[in-house]
Amino acid sequence: MSSGSIASLSSSSRTRLTSIASHLSDSRPKVVICRNLGPAMPLLTERKDINIVLWPEDRGCERAWLLENIKGATGVLVLLPDRVNEELVDAAGPNLRVVSTMSVGYEHIDLPLMAKRKIRVGYTPDVLTEAVADVSVMLALMAGRNDRSFNIVKNGEASWSPFMFCGPQLSATNTSPSRTIGFLGFGRIAQATLARLVPFGITHCIYTGSPNSRPDTARDAALQAKYNLKALERVDVDRLAQESDVLFVLTPGGKETYHLVDATFLRKMKPMSVLVNTARGSVVDSDALATALREKWIWGAGLDVVEGEPMITSDHPLVKEPQCVMVPHIGSATFQTRLDMATRAIDNLIGGVFGGEMPSEL
């Protein structure tokens, strides 16, 4: 295009052409960042050896923007809502070497496709274990009481009677000396949660593991001795539902665990039991859980994650249930943990871009 032709274009068109020309002439590897990472951003912006393309708004990255800007990228840093599938990989082209997700979960990434295309994948395990375990215990305590009590003072409706707002106690008591905690999934976060529950007088722990994994009897014996538990046992899903006083959902998402906690599962639980989900919303059937709460199959639920989040509105069936405590996916929401997650995601990205070590590579 001649200089005269360029001069005749509108201002916005000239700006776009200038931007395109700049990218074409930039020999540095291009990396696409799907969300501003706040205090961790200097780890990217202060580097002179990468060309950064950052989603400019403080909200979820639009798919159209990502598909347009991923073209020619060597690396991309995504979050859970950003699907990494064939559409995205094809749009990126042959330069794409690494996908780094700021999350422990990776069900939004087509791993077989990544292997086929020889694209490395990074994620952020370990760094959020303690924060999510904290929230898991918090939700168990909150769900054991009547959710309405948390807003009644703010609404100016405070009142009292001997058994108003009562619920099942998390800790052991003289009348309930035996308390069984169940874990759907028994990885790092579940074990950290168990450690926090021991001072409450928990006596029994049961859990389910992946069908593809063997029981770790040595680990279980060591944990049982360490925490002075009467029992720590791997069980099947039916026993987990039937025997848990408080059941923590801490299993990965994906097709294998989709709606694992459904109506059949919930009907087997104790009427005074509590369900806590700080893993993935897709593991729990929301409609079934709402029915279970409404018809009193179980006492209550504490949820950090819900299927379909963040698009959870006031007419959602679980929002309407007074025995359901819901928080907006804040399991890892501490300054320390989110900074550690962002830093790990950046380190994974840079390692993959330059063919080096990735601290947490799948």
- The residues carrying an active-site annotation are 329
| Nearest C-alpha neighbor of 122 from the set 346, 339, 331, 279 | 346
Those residues whose C-beta lies under 8 Å from the C-beta of residue 36, and which sit 6 or more positions away, are 54, 55, 58
- Cα separation values, 217 from 232, 234, 294, Å: 10, 9, 39
Give the CB-side neighbour count of residue 76, counting CA atoms within 13 A.
29
Instruction: Give the angle subtended at the CA of 32 by the CAs of 30 and 37, to the nearest 5°.
Output: 130
Report the distance separating Cα 168 and Cα 296, nearest Å: 13
- Beta strands, E only, 109-214: 120-122, 180-184, 204-208
Residue 131: which residues within 8 A CB-CB, separation 6 or more?
331, 332, 333, 334, 336, 337
Please write down the long-range contacts of 147-152, taking CB distance under 8 Å and 24 or more positions apart.
147/300, 147/321, 147/322, 147/323, 147/324, 147/325, 148/322, 150/325
